[in-house]
Amino acid sequence: MFAIIKKNGDNMDRKYFTITALNRAIKNMFDSKPELNQVYIKGEISNFKHHTRGHLYFTLKDENSRIAAVMFSASASNLNFKPEDGMKVLVSGRVTVYEATGGYQIYVEEMSLDGIGNLYLEYEKLKRKLELEGLFRKEYKKPIPKFPKRIGIITAPTGAAIRDILSTIKRRYPICETILFPALVQGNGAKESIVHNLEVAQAFELDLIICGRGGGSIEDLWAFNEEIVARAIFNSKIPIISAVGHEIDFTIADFVADLRAPTPTGAAEMAVPNLVDIKTLLEQYKIRANETTKKIFSSYREKLEALKNAYVLKNPLSLYEVKEQKLDTFMNLIQKSMEQILLNYKVQLENLKSSYVLKNPLSSFEITKEKIKNYRERLRKGIENKIKTETHKYEIILNKIELLNPLHILEKGYSVVTKEGTIVKESNRLKVNDKIEVKLYKGKIKAIVKEVS
């Protein structure tokens, strides 16, 4: 089918096909199979991409296998939900080969949520709710002790999970005590059983709690996606490692717990140190301590030898002699200082004895009396000068006032006319027979108006 072979004696003629021809032939084989033209499958969406043209590209997978899937925009426009990674879906379509890559894929024509897909939506809804409340925040995570003495294990009493946890702890850190709190981890009553055991464990003196179970479907793990379990883990006073399912499985409990382990075995490895590693570390510490101790002893030995050979120890009196010499030096300094102080006081005393004031006590009084006399004379002269200055200022101001006196104008022959005590500046303010008064430089005249012009 893919090559034509002709026999011609010992020679063989071969005709080679191109990759395109080969892929087209395989595609024709797929397309010719009626059972592949309409298939119904269920699986989980992963690697989801929504193209700008509306086409959907994703992978459908189950626990063991996967297949590439394409849903063109014409079919995608009929969806009543928004596909996302992790959703469990039911699809129908045809399986064929994409010639460009030679890979087979399913062209999805219809797609709906599986019952498991609805669980995934509930999972996302609760996850968003608890995240907004802050239950996943790092500041609420309690530190995991490095060397726990007692660990509580909340899981099913039978199964691979408990065996893996116990065997790992015993192998790595056998001195650690473990307490099992048997719980239902699947089905009806599982969430209540997990919460009950978490509350019971709080009364024990535990350093750490491992809470989890082995792998399974999303329905099997659903107890660890319940809100009451998440809140019980968050409210625990004891640090909790969540160990639910396989490495690819994530539950709400994983986000709330203080530490998430990919598997129950991984949780045990995170919970306890490896005794072999501790022994190795202790050996290293022992070697370093011995080296440090040797260095310290060597240093002290050198100091001891230096002390043994010190001149002071060999000649102990030399230290005394040096101190004696220093004492003599200090005594001499003190003696000289005292003599200098006494000399200074003696000089001051002699100066006082020979001072003019002591020999002539009245001289100080006479000097003060003369100073007072001088101050009195200076004060008198100051007052007189002040009076003259102010008198001069007064006369200047008085002259200015006199110059402004209106009576000086009258002296030149002018007069001031008033009517009823008011100065008349304009003729229209008067009328015939009005009584007026004329102020002259010397004297007044009372008159009656005969004419106004």
Of 221, 180, 184, nearest to 201 (Cα)? 180
Contact 280, 264 (CB under 8 A): no
Which stretch of DSSP H or E encloses residue 437?
A: strand 435-439
d(C-alpha 427, C-alpha 80), whole Å: 110
Rounded Cα distance between 271 and 153, Å, is: 11
Question: pTM for the full model?
Answer: 0.46
3-state SS assignment for residue 441 = coil
Residue 257, exposed/middle/buried by CB under 10 A (0-12, 13-18, 19+)? buried
Residue written as tokens 């008159």?
447
- Cα–chain-centroid distance for residue 112? 45
Token representation of residue 244 = 């639910």
Give the pLDDT score at 1.
47
- The H-assigned helical ranges of 202-274 are 227-235, 252-256, 264-271
Cβ atoms < 10 Å from Cβ of 53: 7
Predicted local distance difference test score (pLDDT) of residue 415: 85
Residues 246 and 267 sit within 8 Å (Cβ to Cβ):
no
pLDDT, tens only, 181-202: 999 999 899 999 999 999 999 9
Distance CA 300, CA 308 (A): 12
Q: Given the DSSP bridges, would you call strands 422-423 and 416-419 parallel, antiparallel or unpaired?
A: antiparallel
Predicted local confidence at residue 202, as pLDDT = 95
Could you write out the DSSP letters of every residue in 46-60? EEEEE-TTS-EEEEE
* pLDDT tens-digit series, residues 401-435: 877 776 677 777 788 889 888 888 888 888 888 88
H or E element at residue 133:
helix 115-133
Q: Which pLDDT value is given to residue 311?
A: 66
Report pLDDT for 317.
Answer: 67
Q: Which helix (H) or strand (E) holds 7?
A: strand 4-8
Residues of the chain with pLDDT under 70: 1-13, 115-118, 311-321, 356-359, 361, 406-407
Return d(Cα 20, Cα 250) in angstroms, integer. Answer: 42
User: Element (H or E) spanning 74, and its range?
Assistant: helix 73-76
- Extract the runs of DSSP E, i.e. beta strands, from 125-248: 150-155, 177-182, 208-213, 240-244
